Structure 1
Amino acid sequence: MSSQKKAYAFGLGAVLAWSTVASAFKLSLQHLSPMQLVLYASIASLLSLLAILAWQGRLPELPAALRRHWKSSLLFGAVNPFAYYLVLFQAYALLPAQEAQAINYTWALTMTLLAVPLLRQKLHPLDAAAALICYLGVLVIGTRGQLLELHFSSRQGVLLALTSTLLWAGYWIFNTRDRREPVLGLTLNFAFSLPLSLVWCAWHGQLVIPSWQGLAGAAYVGALEMGFTFVLWLSAMKLTRSTASIANLIFLSPLLSLLLIHLIIGEAILTSTLLGLALILGGLAVQKLPLRRALPRPVAEGSN
């Protein structure tokens, strides 16, 4: 198999895995609180990442990476997985899965907007247009099409879902300055986030052994969404001759996810969700228009 075919295989595998996580989040939250899901999924993810490093014969590299990067690992781990997934899971607990997952796809646009103040990049007209289109989609989803009334299905849930995009986008912006090898870095993130999750659960009186259904859901979420799938996607990006062709595969994920949410969770997919998701994906597509290439490219200070 050629490198490009392997890249497509890894990329599609990652997209298929990510398509299942909204349903997995919702099912797991029937047996676990958001903070418990963060804790047990983080344990599963750390174990899966350690297994990947062991398979690659790279476990001996961890101690040196720990000594050298413990400060940045603590900081990154506090954001992802601890804060990001705590906020995201709380949003899923308050919103229907179809709404939470659709809003979460605005993170790519959020990253573009955050790059303006954080990396001193310029906001191009296409980016501004994309922002308007995407966040109109969020309003359509959050209000279930009742835009004039501005009556949200869960105002707190929508705010938490949008906050999760800020955390995720901010994490990846600062990750451009991260000198750690990606898999080692992610492993250290989870290792340093575990004490935070343990203390958080203990403080709220939720440090208990959950049902087997909760543990199974957390294991699936942790090993697949947080751990193994990241390595699949990273491998696809390294093997491909065209980053754009692999990156565009991600547009398949929300559509597949909606189908699984309907089949597995039993949610009736609302017309407002489909319309809002179409606006969000359309806004993200606007960012990729060829016209953008004619504009001056922004300079990101300190980025790789």
Structure 2
Amino acid sequence: MDSAVGNDKATAVGGMTARRATLIGASAILLWSTLALLTTLTGPIPPFEIEAVAFAVAGLVGIVWMAARGRSPRAALRQPPVAWLLGVGGLFGYHFLYFLALKSAPAAEANLINYLWPLLIVLFAGLLPGERLGRREVLGALVGLAGTGLLVTGGRGIAIDPAYLPGFLAAAGAAVTWGAYSTLSRLLGAVPTDAVAFFCLATAALSALCHWGLEATVAPDAGQWALLALMGLGPVGAAFFVWDIGMKKGDIHTLGALSYATPLLSTLLLILTGRAQPSGVVAASCLLIIAGAVIASWKPRRA
């Protein structure tokens, strides 16, 4: 078996089966696929302002949820420094580098480099205790990357202009940051998922500082406030909680390969809402990404 947590019968880990944890983690991919549509609907509100509000909503809702279920927010707050460094560094560091990349390089090229993170999760996971990196996982991740590259570039290819090197480096840094955050979370299994609420609040505070220093404030109207709250409940909120569960207790290789569905589902959602057009490139990308996920997650039965 290529993954210690990928047993076909799903061994229980920390009171939850690995299969169930993988399914819970995969729901983050569905939530993240709504982010592009929700962001376009917010109109002219700048990205760090969006992140500051959405992460604040996520953190506050997380604390209310803890209290409602009889769990102590104070206990979730008391975490070792390494947990805070990884949690806040992952959430805030990734978004900071991603936004910097989009401001410093063409979006297609920056996005393609950024979407190396699912492949990096698969590769990094092979270095974790109890995990083994198989050829099938690598092949599946590479096929998924090919599908994402086709989708992001529209089949036209990309031109790497040295003038955009800082932006490309920022995009690569974002990919490494999210890949490392996701896989290293496995080593901090004793840190409860409830702690993500406080990581979100810290990220909101840092995003607010970036907004005040780098952007002009746009006052949201009632509809935009509702959208920001929805983002804080979904793709910039619950997604990080369920992803934490998947990374700590699920099949990391499978989740890494499935992550390539994020840009595909996002594009399909934009098509369904009339904000993008269907094409043969999208169809081909769909087939490649699905094929990559199947290859990476296929577990042959043992006699």
Same fold (TM over 0.5): yes
Residue type of the alignment partner of 1:113:
L
The equivalent residue for 2:67 is 54
Matched, 1:20 2:34: yes
Deviation of the 1:108 alpha carbon: 3.5
Structure 2: how far apart are the matches of 1:249 and 1:177? 21
Deviation of the 1:73 alpha carbon: 4.4
Residues 243, 127 of structure 1: CA spacing in aligned structure 2 closer, same or farther, 3 A cutoff? Answer: closer
Structure 1: how far apart are the matches of 2:175 and 2:153? 19
The equivalent residue for 1:66 is 77
Residues 131, 235 of structure 1: CA spacing in aligned structure 2 closer, same or farther, 3 A cutoff? Answer: closer
Q: Structure 1, unaligned stretches of length 5 or more? A: 295-304
Deviation of the 1:140 alpha carbon: 1.8
Deviation of the 1:271 alpha carbon: 2.3
The equivalent residue for 2:203 is 193
Q: Structure 2, unaligned stretches of length 5 or more? A: 1-15
The equivalent residue for 2:275 is 266
Farther off after superposition, 255-264 or 112-121: 112-121
Structure 2: how far apart are the matches of 1:273 and 1:107? 21
Q: Which has the higher helix share?
A: 1
Are the aligned partners of 2:144 and 2:288 in contact in 1 as well (CA < 8 Å)? yes
The equivalent residue for 2:236 is 226
1:94-133 superposed matches below 5 A? 95=107, 107-116=117-126, 123-133=133-143
Deviation of the 1:167 alpha carbon: 2.5
Deviation of the 1:171 alpha carbon: 0.9
Residues 14, 204 of structure 1: CA spacing in aligned structure 2 closer, same or farther, 3 A cutoff? Answer: closer
Deviation of the 1:183 alpha carbon: 3.0
Residue type of the alignment partner of 1:274:
A
Structure 2: how far apart are the matches of 1:74 and 1:11? 21
Matched, 1:136 2:130: no
Structure 1: how far apart are the matches of 2:140 and 2:258? 19
Are the aligned partners of 2:56 and 2:232 in contact in 1 as well (CA < 8 Å)? yes
Are the aligned partners of 1:31 and 1:214 in contact in 2 as well (CA < 8 Å)? no
The equivalent residue for 1:300 is none
Structure 1: how far apart are the matches of 2:128 and 2:245? 28
Are the aligned partners of 2:35 and 2:235 in contact in 1 as well (CA < 8 Å)? yes
Structure 2: how far apart are the matches of 1:136 and 1:237? 24
Structure 1: how far apart are the matches of 2:214 and 2:272? 34
Cα deviation digits, residues 30-76 of structure 1 (max 9, x gap): 23211111111111111211121121122xx222443443x234313
Residues 212, 151 of structure 1: CA spacing in aligned structure 2 closer, same or farther, 3 A cutoff? Answer: farther
1:279 pairs, out of 277, 282, 288, with 288
Structure 2: how far apart are the matches of 1:293 and 1:89? 46
Deviation of the 1:138 alpha carbon: 3.2
Deviation of the 1:181 alpha carbon: 4.3
Residues 67, 126 of structure 1: CA spacing in aligned structure 2 closer, same or farther, 3 A cutoff? Answer: closer
Residues 115, 293 of structure 1: CA spacing in aligned structure 2 closer, same or farther, 3 A cutoff? Answer: farther
RMSD of aligned alpha carbons: 4.5
Deviation of the 1:290 alpha carbon: 3.4
1:39 pairs, out of 44, 52, 55, with 52
- Aligned-residue identity in percent: 25
Are the aligned partners of 2:46 and 2:217 in contact in 1 as well (CA < 8 Å)? no
Deviation of the 1:197 alpha carbon: 1.6
Are the aligned partners of 1:34 and 1:86 in contact in 2 as well (CA < 8 Å)? no
Are the aligned partners of 1:140 and 1:276 in contact in 2 as well (CA < 8 Å)? yes
Structure 1: how far apart are the matches of 2:269 and 2:175? 22
Farther off after superposition, 205-214 or 175-184: 205-214
Residues 180, 40 of structure 1: CA spacing in aligned structure 2 closer, same or farther, 3 A cutoff? Answer: farther
The TM-score with structure 2 as length reference comes to 0.68
Farther off after superposition, 132-141 or 205-214: 205-214
Residues 26, 79 of structure 1: CA spacing in aligned structure 2 closer, same or farther, 3 A cutoff? Answer: farther
Cα deviation digits, residues 146-182 of structure 1 (max 9, x gap): 24xx358xx8988866654433221111111214443
